[in-house]
Amino acid sequence: MSFSTALVWLDHDLRLVDNPALYHAAEQAQVVAPVFIWAPEEYGAYPPGGASKVWLHHSLLAFQAQLNKLNIQLTIRKGPSLELLLELAQSLNVEAVYWNSRYTPVLRARDEKIKEALQAAGIRVHTFAAHLLHEPPRLRTQSGGPYHVFTPFWKKFQRTVSVSAPLPQAPLSGVHRPSPQTSSLPVSELGLSALAQSGVDWASSIRKDWTIGEQAAQERLAQFIKTHAEAYALQRNYPHQEGTSRLSPHLHFGELSPRQVWHALSRSLPSDIAEPFLRQLAWREFSYHLLYHYPDTPHAPLKSKFAAFPWTSDPEPLHRWQKGKTGYPIIDAGMRQLWQTGWMHNRVRMLVASFLTKDLMIPWQEGAAWFWDTLVDANLANNTMGWQWAAGSGADAQPFFRIFNPVSQSERYDPEGAFIKRFVPALAALPASFIHAPWTAPPAVLKEAGVRLGNNYPHPMVTHEKARERALRAYRSLT
């Protein structure tokens, strides 16, 4: 049955291809009115951070340009979502509202209330799964509970989840533009390009390292498959190599769907070669599975005993970690990569998280908050799972007593110091044999390399071996 006008309420799904809400609205309605509503107060304690807002700014501009080519207006509003949806529905004589499901606890609850209110007003509501490969409550253990360990989750996923093919581009070319009387804010009035809480001018730094939008996302996926996907399993742990896909922000903002990635990899590579990357998509699914079943985990440990862990509260070491001034080159390189680009290599994310929570014994929530503000791919499910994993307090977490040694990890994964040299240029002239631990270099070597410890590069803020013992004593106090 067709009807006159449909609203499509967009969020983190700024794409034309494989966008179920947009696609089905275009199939059913004579007029499609896409709307984006900026309502950060509706995200509860986790409104988008500084780096994410800048990405969103440019993603909206890119999507708006795509729609303009199809003679479609993207209506942009700022304020309470329900109030604005009802206002638009009335002014455009809308019969149905379409959107793709959100999965964070606060937004799920909000959307359910909005759905009920719209239906009470006589407006049909159609929701679709688009952000994930499966619905979070679908997979259960044999006892009917949620999974806490990834491997059995992944095995169940492989047995029971059939990833459907991506939808083609929404058929909007013949759809009329919404009423020209529909007022819309320019993207610039949303204030998304303001300085982050961290004080970083993300608006300039992110644009140097990233191309944003659906077209860029598709090109990055195609390039990854062409040049790096076959060697992904071997190269993904080396931060000095282009061994990862860097698709995470495109997936987070919905410029690319996980179904597109899944099927593109599956079509292009033998199953055994594709599987290591497909497992990463499944880890993303697992993180949402955990967030769905344990909605308090963004701020509270999943393992309750960690609520009594004797964390430290000194702001000075936290600040040094944030700015990449710990005296451990691989840690500092990672934190400076984050500071400069809004992104950090996954292996290095694990190292900096281990260093913060175990060498410095600073609560994982502080690290999660910093990542939330500074990562362009800041995703509540992934961020929560990653930090709880690093701290030993979450599902499938590494044991607390597994504490990464920042020197040996650096020697293993950045053997020539190429990653360090890029982001810590003060150490660039040090030989590879000393760049991972500059304090071990003879004075003559330091002098020749122009390294002045305590001046242009800091001494280590802790001795790893002593810090490790302190962390283990704290952990033993819990048991």
- Which residue range(s) make up the domain with 284? 132-162+210-293
Confidence at residue 399, expressed as pLDDT on a 0 to 100 scale: 78
User: What residues are paired with 126 via a beta bridge?
Assistant: 98
Confidence at residue 180, expressed as pLDDT on a 0 to 100 scale: 47
236 lies in the same domain as 322: no
Cβ-defined contacts of 193-196 (< 8 Å, 24+): 193/53, 193/54, 193/57, 194/50, 194/53, 195/50, 196/49, 196/50, 196/51, 196/53, 196/54, 196/373, 196/374
Spans in the chain with pLDDT lower than 70: 1-3, 174-181, 194-203, 397, 479
Read off the CATH number of the domain in which 145 is found: 1.25.40.80
Number of structural domains found in the chain:
3
Alpha helices by DSSP H, listed for 400-442, are 406-413, 418-423, 432-435
Read off the CATH number of the domain in which 359 is found: 1.10.579.10
310 lies in the same domain as 429: yes
355 lies in the same domain as 429: yes
271 lies in the same domain as 310: no
* 74 residue type, one letter: L
275 lies in the same domain as 381: no
Asked if residue 182 is part of any domain, the answer here is no
Asked if residue 175 is part of any domain, the answer here is no
Asked if residue 408 is part of any domain, the answer here is yes
- Rounded CA-CA distance 52/39 in Å is 14
pLDDT of 9-32, one tens digit each?
999 999 999 999 999 999 999 899
Give the domain-ending residue among 293, 322, 338.
293
35 lies in the same domain as 154: no
Asked if residue 372 is part of any domain, the answer here is yes
347 lies in the same domain as 468: yes
Confidence at residue 205, expressed as pLDDT on a 0 to 100 scale: 73
Q: What is the DSSP letter of 356?
A: I
470 lies in the same domain as 441: yes
Residue 192: helix, strand or coil by DSSP?
A: coil
- Rounded CA-CA distance 387/49 in Å is 17
| Residue with the two structure tokens 């909005």 | 114
Asked if residue 190 is part of any domain, the answer here is no
Read off the CATH number of the domain in which 83 is found: 3.40.50.620
Cβ–Cβ < 8 Å for 4, 32: no
- 378 Cβ contact partners less than 8 Å away, ≥ 6 residues apart: 48, 49, 51, 52, 252, 371, 372
Confidence at residue 201, expressed as pLDDT on a 0 to 100 scale: 62
Give the domain-ending residue among 262, 293, 324.
293
How far does CA 429 lie from the centroid of its chain? 34
183, two tokens = 């007022």
Cβ–Cβ < 8 Å for 136, 69: no
pTM confidence score = 0.95
pLDDT of 50-70, one tens digit each?
999 999 999 999 999 999 999
Give the domain-ending residue among 111, 131, 151.
131
415 lies in the same domain as 275: no
357 phi/psi in degrees, rounded to 5: -80, -25
